[in-house]
Amino acid sequence: MEEKKEIRQISELGEFGLIDHLTSDLKTINEDIVKSVGDDAAVYDCGEMCNLITTDLLVEGVHFNLIYTPLKHLGYKAVAVNLSDLYAMNAKPKYITVSIAISNKFSVNAIEDLYSGIKLACQRYNVDLIGGDTTSSLSGLFINITAIGEAKKEDIVYRGGASKNELICVSGDLGAAYLGLQLLEREKKMFLSDTSIQPKLDGYEYIVERQLKPEPRRDIINRLKEAGIKPTSMIDISDGLSSELIHLCKNSNLGCKVFEDKIPINPQSSAASEMFRLDPSLPAMNGGEDYELLFTVPIDKKEDIEKMEDVTIIGYMCDEKEGKTFVPRNGQELELKAQGWNPLD
Ligand code: ADP
Ligand code: MG
């Protein structure tokens, strides 16, 4: 008799647990694969260069709400988040494909707006749109972009390359995209309760822009290159700093120590946190979608990094046995946990 298979709920595993569960038994067939599942992009060897591939799916109602997301911004963001994954591997984006599923509630003009954002991002980041797929959807808009880039094998940076005592660095500032989303959600609720109310976003333009129109950090990659610094490990911050730190630690078999007073937070994020009665460190550590770069460098690069515009040292890597530690301003150390939003919750 066939044994009855126990039904398991996805929530038991979470997003990363599910990916592990589905992919841990994969064995690569093609010998040119340098990196399969498990980093910001997959890598395969093409001789002189390596190609890198990453893909991201955006779903209406899950990743975006069209009440406050202009389609042009959505198109731009859909490209930006993919390019961010390629920069996080220290690669140069070259091509994208765009697949969309649309319902008949969208006009040609609306899809043109979406594409104007996609094309703008392509132009700005020197990327060619080389294909895709178009189909219908019964439940809202889906956008799936695949981005392809290239890099010399020796230039590629993985999540797992960090060593003990190396410095943990982050670009830009953190938490703004999450706070921008909270603000837009609040204004949406006000608008739906009374459509004569116009959104009040004055003074919060920065955090709203960080949510609606993130920029992948090509500038940081270029700055590091100019300074002759190759990060030892790197990841982009899409699910929150805590979650990404845990990925770097896990992949590098290390622990880490990060300091609350070093986490870069924009003044608008601090003001918005106060308005929402949140400790500003919470969105910075656990809010998603900042698309900043988190990377490690050897300690002898400290002075060069300190001089670098828009890059902050927030802590260091340590032995795995020492664990992953968050040091708050009051000095009472806490274990770092990824409470960040889980898209499968
Ligand atoms: P990122 O946040 O950088 O986009 P993800 O957390 O989405 O990365 O994915 C982590 C890794 O798991 C990546 O290597 C990705 O390609 C892989 N992955 C995600 N979903 C699937 C899936 N359904 N099947 C196979 N691999 C997947
Ligand atoms: Mg990523």
Please tell me which residue, 211 or 345, carries the higher pLDDT value: 211
For 248, the 3-state DSSP assignment is helix
User: Which numbered atom of ligand 1 lies nearest the CA of 38?
Assistant: 14
**Closest listed ligand to the CA of 234:** 2
Which residue is closest in CA terms to ligand 1's atom 21? Answer: 19
At residue 102, the 3 state secondary structure works out as strand
Mean of the pLDDT values across residues 127-133?
98
Residue predicted with more confidence, 9 or 5: 9
The neighbour count for residue 256, using CB atoms within 10 Å, is 25
| Chain centre distance of CA 280 | 19
345: pLDDT strictly greater than 50 = no
Q: Worst-scoring range by mean pLDDT, 89-93, 123-127, 136-140, 233-237?
A: 136-140
Ligand number, closest to the Cα atom of 344: 1
> Mutate which of 33, 37, 53, 156 to test ligand 1's pocket (most atoms within 8 Å of Cβ)?
37
Q: Whose CA is nearest to atom 4 of ligand 1?
A: 40
Regarding the beta carbon of 37 and ligand 1, being less than 6 Å apart is answered yes
Residue 343: per-residue pLDDT: 46
Distance 126 CA to ligand 2 centre (A): 20
Distance of CA 153 from the midpoint of ligand 2 (Å): 19
What number does the ligand 1 atom closest to the CA of 238 have?
2
Question: Which residue has the CA at smallest separation from atom 3 of ligand 1?
Answer: 40
Q: Point out the ligand 1 atom lying closest to the alpha carbon of residue 239.
A: 2
What pLDDT does 5 receive?
79
Q: What is the pLDDT of residues 250-263, one digit of tens each?
A: 999 999 999 999 99
* Whether pLDDT at 100 is above 90: yes
Burial of residue 345 (CB within 10 Å: 0-12, 13-18, 19+) is exposed
Average pLDDT, the chain: 94
Closest listed ligand to the CA of 84: 2
186: Cβ contacts below 8 Å, ≥ 6 apart: none
Ligand 1 atom 10 nearest Cα: 38
d(CA 294, CA 231): 10
**Per this entry, what is the length of the chain?**
345
Inform me whether the pLDDT recorded for 342 exceeds 70.
no
Using alpha carbons, list the distances in angstroms from residue 86 to 42, 70, 89, 127, 341. 9, 25, 5, 12, 23
Cα–Cα distance between 166 and 177 in angstroms, integer?
28
User: What's the mean pLDDT in 318-328?
Assistant: 97
Distance CA 179, CA 194 (A): 23
Residue owning the nearest CA to atom 22 of ligand 1: 19
Asked if residue 91 lies in contact with residue 130, where contact means CB atoms within 8 angstroms, the answer is no
CA–centroid distance, 245 to ligand 1, in Å, is 16
Specify the residue for token string 């770092």. Answer: 336
- CB-ligand 1 contact for 39 (6 Å cutoff): yes
Return all residues near 310 (Cβ < 8 A) that are at least 6 apart.
Answer: 171, 172, 219, 220
Which atom of ligand 1 is nearest to 37's Cα? 14
CA 75 – ligand 1 centroid, Å:
21
Looking at per-residue confidence, does 200 or 335 come out higher?
335
Per-residue confidence (pLDDT) for residue 202, from 0 to 100: 86
CA 5–ligand 2 middle distance (angstroms): 34
Q: What is the pLDDT of residue 174?
A: 98
pLDDT at residue number 99: 98
Q: Which of 19, 53, 79 to mutate to test the pocket of ligand 1 (most atoms within 8 A of CB)?
A: 19
CA-based nearest residue to 205, from 173, 185, 176, 239: 176
Report pLDDT digits (tens) over 272-285. Answer: 999 999 999 999 99
Burial-class residue 190 by CB neighbours within 10 Å (0-12, 13-18, 19+).
Answer: middle
Tens of pLDDT, residues 218-266: 999 999 999 999 999 999 999 999 999 999 999 999 999 999 999 999 9
What is the gyration radius of the CA atoms in the chain, in angstroms? 21
Backbone φ/ψ region at 50: left (φ over 0), alpha (ψ -120 to 50), beta = beta
